[in-house]
Structure 1
């Protein structure tokens, strides 16, 4: 009886049901870190007016890579959708980011090389492009190079180019001999005859991947705003997996790709890895901390559970929100 009463209170607190538009819309600033198909759940939340459905006014702002996290920590935005590695790095450094949602566990990109690079060892003495130093692409490049017995910077020069379009352009121009790229850029690169040295989706490297990050201070002060944003993004996840045509339109709009085959492949690639119940796992955070320990010894003694919360995801399950989404988007389960 007491448990049922607690669940009722939670349901009342979060507005109940799928439609919270009757609540006063809250202006929310959400940054995101890349123009890649893996950000489709966020784009779906915008394009299908899911923010408004859940009582939020928001137009997501593209801010390349680590800039989005810097803006959030400075209070210029409220949330960031992106890979969670920078959030873990920042918290180890004393800031207060907190991972709220993880809808992809792991990296969604590949390392793509020029045709002359047929195996990882051929990268010795060459240049590899990432978006920015400290960004997930940089983290992934360094992790892969170490696995291949190559010393980052010493054996392979790492170049930061600001964004994914810039990295792809540099690869095509042979300004760099490899680049860390997600679909649709990696897909197009392979069509041009480039070589995929590693697909992180198919590797055994598990890290906190893409999701929603806020700050502990914002969550504490504005719990209802946080709750609404989580609801909107989670419905965006279900809509992405359950509404293929709408997802393809969103990918086309934001990536500016018009190649139908490329759009289809980008959608299918990401659909396989996007999780409907986007919890963050302790193991994924711990792996990031272990990798960071080489550069920052403080990471070695950190408690992984301090870097994330599943509180809002638990609420969505306990109040039946996930069941309602399953009924609204039945194709998401197929």
Structure 2
């Protein structure tokens, strides 16, 4: 090859963002997430398939037991990103003065399965029943409250007992053991319960309720200081969503999901894999309508949250840059 052609090829290679990242030492970034379901599968796949590494990130994926733990970690600088829902913990931290913002939205609607005992046939049958949660104000609480509101139910008026039980694997066991009468579960655990004879009262995605179901959060000061790191993270996630949707990658995605959810059998992740293909938005903007819904619900009992506006909790500068480039 002529010297001029070699130089041109080198220039074109180095002009590609992934090539530039590969030429430098990877940035160590910690991503926390709270929801143990297929919704967080995009992180498992990005790590296992080497997509984070391709974009110059030495990513550590850490499951935290509750939103407040994730918020404390990001506030202290121990972590750079939290991938989760708009909840009492995240929105409360924003209202309390933490410069936390959604820099992207990956799932912008309510999703998952509301699983109940076989004797419960309609939403009105939930009156007087025990519903399990992972925490008060957390993602599962938000999903549950928005679903109950959609059905015209009120925990106080209708004597619906909300009980803090644990994460989704524990909630599934609690429903199976008759400790509770129902709970929100992701599609992976929901499918397992349905095979055992329990009822899917509703596929929440079909209710059409706007919600910031999964977003990428970071401190605004971190994005100001290290915009390249935030950009690497979002580029990697966009590529991962495309990777998940390619049929040839089914085995790799299912294996990552099974490992991330700590399932005993890879085939138990099949239902979750099928949902992952349609859950994620290709245009990874945060959802204004979904966030307004959350601010409205949480603002009923919190004046600081009631004063927040969508623009206070979103920073979409990097997403706009990526769209302008034609990445999605």
TM range (shorter): 0.7 to 0.9
5+ residue gaps in structure 1? 1-11, 323-334
Aligned to 2:224: 220
Equivalence for 1:265 = 271
Tell whether 2:150 aligns with 1:147. yes
The within-5 A match list for 1:181-196 is 181-196=185-200
State the distance in 1 between where 2:279 and 2:49 align. Answer: 22
Pairwise mapping of residues 1-334 of structure 1 onto structure 2 (< 5 A)?
16-19=16-19, 20-66=21-67, 67-85=69-87, 86-153=89-156, 155-242=159-246, 243-257=249-263, 262-322=268-328
Q: Distance in 2 between matches of 1:147 and 1:312?
A: 34
Do the aligned partners of residues 133 and 36 (structure 1) sit closer, same or farther apart at CA in structure 2, a change above 3 Å counting? same
Identify the residue that residue 329 of structure 1 maps to in structure 2. Answer: none
Give the superposition deviation at 1:158. 0.9
User: Match of 1:313, SS?
Assistant: helix
How far did residue 61 of structure 1 move? 0.6
> C-alpha separation between the residues in 2 aligned to 1:78 and 1:260?
31
Q: Would you say the 8 A contact 1:65–1:163 is kept in 2?
A: no
| Cα distance between partner residues in 1 of 2:223 and 2:161 | 40
User: Per-residue deviation at 1:211?
Assistant: 2.1
Q: Aligned partners of 2:223, 2:48: CA distance in 1, in Å? A: 25
Shift of 1:317: 2.6
Report what 2:4 is aligned to: none
Structure 2 CA distance for aligned equivalents of residues 200 and 147 of structure 1: 10
Q: Distance in 1 between matches of 2:265 and 2:175?
A: 20
Measured after TM superposition, the shift of residue 51 of structure 1 is 1.6
> Conserved in 2, the CA contact under 8 Å of 1:146 and 1:152?
no
- 127-136 vs 313-322, greater mean Cα deviation: 313-322
Q: Is the 8 A contact 2:66 2:135 kept in 1?
A: yes
Contact 1:17 1:321 in 2 (8 A): no
Secondary structure at 1:256's aligned position in 2? coil
Alpha-carbon offset, residue 124 of structure 1 = 2.1
Give the CA RMSD over aligned residues. 2.2
- Deviation (angstroms), 1:116: 1.6
Quote the Cα distance in structure 2 between the aligned partners of 1:189 and 1:117. Answer: 14
**CA–CA separation in structure 1 for the residues paired with 2:326 and 2:123:** 48
Q: Distance in 2 between matches of 1:297 and 1:15?
A: 49
Contact 1:40 1:240 in 2 (8 A): no
- 2:258–2:268: 8 Å Cα contact kept in structure 1? no
Normalised to the residue count of structure 1, the TM-score between the two structures is 0.86
* SS of residue paired to 2:322: helix
2: CA distance between counterparts of 1:250 and 1:296? 39
Corresponding residue for residue 5 of structure 2: none
CA contact (8 A) 2:244 2:276 kept: no
Deviation at 1:241, TM superposition (A): 1.6
Contact preservation (8 Å) 1:16, 1:319? no
Distance 2:124 2:218 in 1: 39
Question: Aligned-pair distance for 1:174?
Answer: 0.6
Are the equivalent residues in 1 in contact too, given 2:46–2:236 (CA < 8 A)? yes
Compute the displacement of 1:201 (Å). Answer: 0.8
- More divergent stretch after superposition (17-26 vs 162-171): 17-26
Change in CA separation of 1:276 and 1:291 when aligned onto 2, cut-off 3 Å: same
